């Protein structure tokens, strides 16, 4: 992965549109995020077309099942050579350990580069009341810290979290634990369905490693200009 922290979320079911965006945005982003919507609708061939652009891919499938099933899924996905692959931390310590081991073993057996394995903590669409409704009697921050600790014990390379937990996670997990942050919105953009959001500059300043930005780029009148402006603002913030 290169030094540009912006991964553009290509949340579309249209393979041609996704490929066009990836090719046009390539000079201005550090990678692309492909989620369930694209992967389930467009399939393997369309994924490979995106991989051919040379951009690092965050394959955001949020695997969550019993340990053996998740390990088998990771083994099946590793040959696609995603730069990042994720599971749900809520699947537990054994599931995350199985996923991490499967990635490393499959990569070693096939002479591949293992993906960075990360765990999703608390979705950025959830707040205190949402967690309480599903039986989690903790704030999002406390739950994120708890799950990140489990992820680190399980040999995950990092977590997905909201920008609001980044500083606390950096203090808890150290400098080498990767923090991948969705819910990033330039100041002038709507929140949409996400609640725990932050601007790109503030998230980077807090200590985020990768900023996942979707609609603010892909739904802009000029996506290339939007991505270029975000990158310029981040460079300016970094000094």
C-alpha span between 161 and 60 (Å, rounded): 13
63 among the known binding-site residues? yes
Specify the CATH class of 6-238 in words.
Answer: alpha beta
CB–CB of 129/71 below 8 Å? no
- Per the document, the length of the chain is 239
Residue 1 reports pLDDT greater than 50: no
- Mapped onto helix, strand or coil, the DSSP state of residue 160 is strand
65 among the known binding-site residues? yes
Residue 142 is a catalytic residue: no
Burial code (b: 16+ CB inside 10 Å, e: under 16) for 39-74 equals beebeeebbebbbebebbbbbbbbbbeebeebbebb
C-alpha span between 30 and 11 (Å, rounded): 17
Q: Residues 94-107: pLDDT tens digits?
A: 999 999 999 999 99
Residue 130 is a catalytic residue: no
Question: Which residue among 65, 105, 130, 142 is the active-site one?
Answer: 65
Q: Residues 175-221: pLDDT tens digits?
A: 999 999 998 877 665 455 455 567 889 889 889 999 999 999 999 99
pLDDT, averaged across the chain = 92
Confidence of residue 125 (pLDDT cuts 50, 70, 90): confident
* C-alpha 207 chain-centroid distance: 15
Question: Per the structure block, which two tokens stand in for 1?
Answer: 């992965």
124 among the known binding-site residues? yes
pLDDT on residue 96: 98
68 among the known binding-site residues? yes
Residue 101 is a catalytic residue: no
């Amino acid at each position: 992965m290169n030094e540009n922290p912006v991964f553009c979320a290509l949340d579309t079911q249209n393979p041609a549109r996704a490929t066009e965006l990836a090719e046009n945005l390539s000079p201005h982003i550090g990678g692309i995020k492909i989620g369930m919507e694209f992967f389930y609708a467009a399939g393997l061939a369309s994924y490979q077309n995106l991989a051919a652009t040379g951009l690092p891919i965050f394959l955001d499938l949020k695997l969550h099942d019993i340990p053996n099933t998740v390990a088998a899924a990771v083994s099946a996905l590793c040959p696609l050579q995603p730069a990042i692959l994720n599971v749900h931390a809520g699947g537990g310590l054994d599931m995350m350990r199985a996923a991490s081991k499967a990635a490393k073993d499959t990569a070693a057996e096939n002479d591949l580069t293992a993906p960075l394995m990360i765990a999703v903590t608390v979705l950025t669409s959830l707040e205190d009341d949402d967690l309480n409704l599903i039986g989690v009697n903790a704030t999002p921050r406390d739950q994120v810290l708890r799950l990140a600790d489990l992820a680190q014990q399980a040999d995950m390379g990092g977590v997905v979290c909201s920008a609001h937990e980044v500083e606390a996670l950096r203090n808890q997990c150290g400098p080498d634990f990767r923090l991948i942050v969705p819910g990033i919105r330039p100041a002038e953009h709507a929140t949409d369905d996400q609640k725990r959001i932050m601007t790109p500059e503030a998230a980077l300043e807090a200590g985020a490693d990768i900023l996942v930005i979707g609609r603010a780029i892909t739904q802009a009148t000029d996506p290339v200009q939007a991505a270029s402006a975000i990158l310029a603002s981040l460079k300016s913030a970094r000094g």
